[in-house]
Amino acid sequence: MQAHEGMYIDGAWRPAAGDDRIDVLNPADGTVAGSVPAGGPEDVDAAVRAARAAFPGWAATPPVERAARLGALRDVLVARQEEIARTVTTELGSPVSFSRAVHAAVPVAVAGSYIDLAAEHPFEERLGTSRVLHEPVGVVGAITPWNYPLHQIVAKVAPALAAGCTVVLKPAENTPLVARLFAEAVHEAGLPAGVVNLVTGLGPVAGQALAEHEGVDLVSFTGSTAVGRRIGALAGGAVKRVALELGGKSANVVLPGADLARAVKAGVANVMANSGQTCSAWTRMLVHAGDYEEAVERAAAATARYAPGDPLDDATRLGPVVSAAQRERVTGYIAEGQREGARLVTGGTEPPEGFEQGSWVRPTVFADVTPEMTLAQEEIFGPVLSILRYEDTEDALRIANGTDYGLSGAVWAGDEGEAVAFARRMETGQVDINGGRFNPLAPFGGYKRSGVGRELGPHGLTEYLQTKSLQF
């Protein structure tokens, strides 16, 4: 166990203002993996002041030079990928193979995408007799979650830097170790002092202080809808820009004539990845009545392949959830599903045999879930799949759109045109067609209560810009 000291502020590690600490627990066994300072308003204020002082110089840095600094940061992340993967596995519980393939590799891809965007983005344009300038917003307060701890940091910091903004980062208290590693990478990459600052701390203390700080021009938050609403209210009261990437209850719609075996296998994999702790996970599988029982059988068989195991074993496909509190939340939803009459196909509330220590949840599948059930309406954030039956395409669309969320989704069909036509009518920010692959340039974000704004690619870059027109 390593006790880390200090906050990364103005290009150096500085002692925290107070003595409070946060213990970082390994969710696989509940042991203490490390500790970090629990920063407060004084630390946030120092970081914001540093970011504010660094802003004019970074904003005036030519985009090509900003791109070069992003390239150096990307290169450090590449060199430290194995360390990143093992760090995430230790504090999140993600199987190390998944940590390598996703938690360490995706941030590299996202950072790389902003190298070209920083250099090539049109920061000026002509409209008639006017010149329109796209200028950096200013100081960004980035509040990031624990489920994809480095990806969500890079998805905010990289476009902010490409735009010419400076950043104060407050990572989730469950996974601050990889955030410290990122701050080390920033330093190693030679970014100017104050351009990126890190304050570790609790959300209601350091996070709230950052969201409220008058020196912050934009708050970018990823997390629960409940917390996002509070941050949105704080930002709105201060007439401050806000970007919110919140919860999801995404529908995986399998249309008649689709490759059922492929759709079900991919759907189960999507939900079980990262132990179900993915805001965009396809947690509702919608299957036509004629294919329903076959889909349930296939889902049960596919889920059996996700046996819990040591997260540091390369062969493990399912790790624990992040914390004991998260385990209680997930198993509470499983119990509620049983009370409401859904059919428990596999899984349940008891920990997997041999995994009584730590924060383990059995991979769980429910059938006979109806649209009004809690399982079909609320975000569970665990390895729990609900399979719903529909009668025709209009019924499927009604069910798919029948939640407060609209973050992601999927459509499977024998004919791609049919899938696209259905996807166009879905009230959600992103839809995978017949197993479409992740694209770091595609905008990611939600409709309805899934959020405000977009991340990734050029759309993510424009979140950190404001416009000025010069009239001639």
Kindly write down the DSSP assignment for every residue of 46-96, as one continuous string. Answer: HHHHHHHHHHHHHHHS-HHHHHHHHHHHHHHHHHTHHHHHHHHHHHH---H
What burial class does residue 353 get, using C-beta atoms within 10 Å of its C-beta: 0-12 exposed, 13-18 middle, 19+ buried? Answer: exposed
Q: For residue 385, what is the enclosing H or E element?
A: strand 384-390
Q: What is the pLDDT of residues 376-393, one digit of tens each?
A: 999 999 999 999 999 999
Q: pLDDT per residue over 67-116, tens digit each? A: 999 999 999 999 999 999 999 999 999 999 999 999 999 999 999 999 99
The residues annotated with a catalytic role in the active site are: 245, 279
Structural domains in the chain, sorted by start: 2-246+450-471 (3.40.605.10), 251-440 (3.40.309.10)
> In angstroms, what is the C-alpha Rg of the chain?
22
1: pLDDT strictly greater than 80: no
Q: Please list, residue by residue across 59-78, b when 16 or more beta carbons sit within 10 angstroms of its beta carbon and e when fewer do.
A: bebebeebbbbbbbbbbbbb
CA 64 distance to own-chain centroid: 28
pLDDT at 251 over 80: yes
DSSP summary character for residue 423 = H
From 435, 430, 365, 375, select the one nearest 399 (Cα to Cα).
375
What pLDDT, on a 0 to 100 scale, did the predictor assign at position 238? 87
Tokens at residue 204, please?
Answer: 């209601």
- Scan for tokens 């649209």, then name that residue: 371
Note the pLDDT of residue 285.
Answer: 99
